[in-house]
Amino acid sequence: MLIALKLLGSIALLIYGMKVMSEALQKMAGPQLRHLLGAMTTNRFSGVATGALVTVAVQSSAATTVMTVSFVNAALLTLAQAISVIMGANIGTTLSAWIMSAGFSFNIANLVWPAFLIGIILIQIGKHRYIGDFLFGLSFLLFALGILKQTGVEMDLANKPEVVSFFSSFDSGSYWTILLFLLIGTVLTCIAQSSAALMAITMVLCSTGTITIFQGIALVMGENIGTTLTANLAAMSANTQARRAAMAHLLFNVFGVIWVLIVFFPFVRMVCRIVGIDASADAVDPARLTFALATFHTAFNVINTSVLIWFIPQIEKLVCIIIKPKKSEEEDEFRLKYIRGGIMKTPEISVLQAQKEIVQFGIRMQRMFGMVNELYDTNDDQAFNKLFERIQKYEEISDRMENEIGKYLGDVGDAHLSDDTKATIRGMLRQIGELESIGDGCYNLARILRRKRENKIVFMESQDNGFKGMMGLVDESLSRMNIVLDDRKEVHDIAPSKELEARINACRDSLRQMNANNLDNRTYGYDNGTVFTDLVNECEKTGDYVINVVEARLGDGYEF
């Protein structure tokens, strides 16, 4: 019982050590780590390199993959970029296996105690706290490996008849045995949520002679599949693109397992020859067995990436076929359509791409306004709440679109530009600012409508007709705005938009007067009149934002 508790405790300490290391490194890197993924994924090769480097830095492929999925969810990375980063993360995680194999090959106690001492001093000083946290995590990791190694010797499983009889009942030369151990590795990794812990257990079993190298490598293959569960769990509540990125991670590892199974025995013997052992020999140096596992893990991921890196577009298409979005979900996703990261083309093309993205921004804001119109007519509580949440999500999307397009235009503005192009960029920055204000206005209207519903306020027919008429005018002005945004500006005049704005203002004045008369005549209560006035004022302000967008678009500047 004591040995079993030591085994479980050392595994828990190993997981905790890796978690502390990972968190400390991410804190040390700060925002730079998050920007690194977006800045260094200009092509599939740089994406793989970035994924590998980040994973080596944070010592957790799960952390890199989950971070990548979250970036896809926020539309900071495209699906193709995410797939290349995930491939690199699989290569980067092999470093953990090498650290563990090194831990099994020599006495690491000499390293643990000085690391603990330096770590606690740095933590207490406070100035280099994150470095101290990292050393603490590394110390726990190495200490856990030392206990695991010692526990494996104490268990002496290779000399226990029951254990030997159990494992010898499996024919190492049989594919059924390999498939069974692969399944065991997958299930255990899914349960433990740590491929590192299962890798450590596998090394203990192999180094003590409990299982053969073939069975150990089958467990490692299962761990590669089981570790994909972390990203898929993280993506469950995310958007379609994020779920597709997680699915790509699963497909990547499943494909690797399939081709390795086809050439399993020759491939394992080749790996064993690389580290200088005979796979079929009974007595093998335990340290070399752990190195064989680490070598296989590295070879598996490097070869798999070398093959699949050429098929990223096909993988992207496949995951899009497997995971299809609902129509409403597809509309609600934030995904820049024309702007992509990486080295920009000529400033004129970059500005044109940004203008196309602004067109999409305008279309999305009119769709949001349509939801507000629909919210006004919704009577069912559940449907109202669901629609309100969609409007709230669109408001968040409008903030992110303004931020991403604005950053892109800022980067374009750093180049050597003509005066006309500079004026155009200034106009576009104003456009996205006013479009984001339209999103704020729509969300404010939705909040007022929620207040109306919570206070059980019912409008009179004259109020209802008046407000719907005003909403219709604003929607008409949004349609006009989107026509202007999507067309050559020299063929349009601002007069039609100005006329619509004047009609909106006149409607506002009329409705305000009607509301004042009704309050004076006590036709309805003050709370009713306040909500009505707030709706009318917010609707008129939204109309102002619309005309501001049109003015910014038709102002002086570069002509497309």
- Report the alpha-carbon distance of residue 409 to residue 421 in Å, rounded: 11
Of the residues 271, 299, 322, which one is the last residue of a structural domain?
322
Of the residues 290, 322, 354, which one is the last residue of a structural domain?
322
Task: Determine the pLDDT at residue 107.
Answer: 59
Mean pLDDT score, 422-440: 90
128 and 233 belong to one structural domain? yes
Task: Determine the pLDDT at residue 559.
Answer: 40
156 and 232 belong to one structural domain? yes
Closest CA to 318 of 387, 260, 249: 249
137 and 205 belong to one structural domain? yes
145 and 230 belong to one structural domain? yes
- Is the confidence at residue 446, as pLDDT, over 80? yes
Query: Within a domain: residue 158?
Result: yes
Contacts 24+ apart (CB under 8 A), 440-444: 440/395, 440/398, 441/538, 441/539, 441/541, 441/542, 441/545, 442/365, 442/368, 442/369, 442/371, 442/372, 442/391, 442/394, 442/395, 442/542, 443/391, 443/392, 443/394, 443/395, 444/538
421 and 492 belong to one structural domain? yes
Of the residues 322, 355, 370, which one is the last residue of a structural domain?
322
Q: Where are the alpha helices (DSSP H) in 344-380?
A: 347-376
> Which of the two residues, 288 and 254, has the higher pLDDT score?
254
Question: Which pLDDT band, with edges at 50, 70 and 90, does 558 fall under?
Answer: very low
234 and 133 belong to one structural domain? yes
Sign of the torsion angle spanned by Cα atoms 361, 362, 363, 367? positive
246 and 394 belong to one structural domain? no
- Is the confidence at residue 535, as pLDDT, over 90? yes
- Is the confidence at residue 165, as pLDDT, over 60? yes
Question: Which pLDDT band, with edges at 50, 70 and 90, does 422 fall under?
Answer: confident
State the total domains in the chain.
2
- The top-scoring range by mean pLDDT among 54-68, 181-195, 207-221, 301-315 is 301-315
Range of the domain at 427: 336-554
Asked whether 101 and 293 are in contact (CB, 8 A), the reply is yes
349 and 406 belong to one structural domain? yes
Mean pLDDT score, 122-145: 75
Query: Within a domain: residue 76?
Result: yes
Task: Determine the pLDDT at residue 365.
Answer: 93
Query: Within a domain: residue 331?
Result: no
364 and 233 belong to one structural domain? no
317 and 340 belong to one structural domain? no
CATH number at residue 432: 1.20.58.220
Q: Name the least confident of 66-75, 324-333, 392-401, 427-436.
A: 324-333
Query: Within a domain: residue 328?
Result: no
- Report the alpha-carbon distance of residue 125 to residue 120 in Å, rounded: 9
- Is the confidence at residue 556, as pLDDT, over 50? no
305 and 359 belong to one structural domain? no
Query: Within a domain: residue 560?
Result: no
> Which residue carries 């919210």 as its tokens?
375
- Is the confidence at residue 10, as pLDDT, over 90? no
- Is the confidence at residue 343, as pLDDT, over 50? no
Q: What is the pLDDT of residues 471-518, one digit of tens each?
A: 999 999 999 999 999 888 788 888 999 999 999 999 999 999 999 999
Query: Within a domain: residue 426?
Result: yes
Task: Determine the pLDDT at residue 536.
Answer: 94
Query: Within a domain: residue 63?
Result: yes
193 and 118 belong to one structural domain? yes
- Is the confidence at residue 398, as pLDDT, over 80? yes
Query: Within a domain: residue 38?
Result: yes
Task: Determine the pLDDT at residue 17.
Answer: 73
